[in-house]
Amino acid sequence: LQDSSESFHMATSPSRASRRGDLTSSPGRDLPPFEDESEGLLGDGPLPEEEEEEEADGEELIGDGMERDYRAIPALDRYEAEGLDLDDEDLSELSQGARNAAEEEMRRRDRAQRPRGRIGIGLLYGENHGPSCLTRS
């Protein structure tokens, strides 16, 4: 037995034995040879394997010299003051009561905006998952 498809045809249908050469069970045998289309799809540039070889010539990011990235550079280690709110004078300390009131107000707002019913919460967070504040009390 040379091919499993040949033995299958012979065993199930002897009348097909004469047409065995015309049709095969594998459509790949009847098709023209595969052409490499990677250049057409990827362009005329190098293939990914070739790009990796070219990148090896570039700057080494991991290795003996990677500590240099963390050395102190005073000119670059300071942020510009523009856009930063450095005036703490307009901020005041919150009392514990004011903080509790603000947190309760945010909880009410979140409760009013959350999806209703089990389906809405399940779609948003998944089954049995989600913030503990969504549990009904």
pLDDT surpasses 90 at 53: no
Q: Which residues contact 86 (CB under 8 A, 6 or more apart)?
A: none
Overall pTM > 0.85: no
Instruction: Name which of 18, 20, 22 is nearest 4 in CA terms.
Output: 20
User: What was the pLDDT predicted at 31?
Assistant: 72
User: What was the pLDDT predicted at 137?
Assistant: 44
Query: What's the pLDDT tens digit per position in 87-137?
Result: 656 667 889 999 999 999 999 999 888 766 666 666 666 655 555 555 554
pLDDT surpasses 60 at 12: no
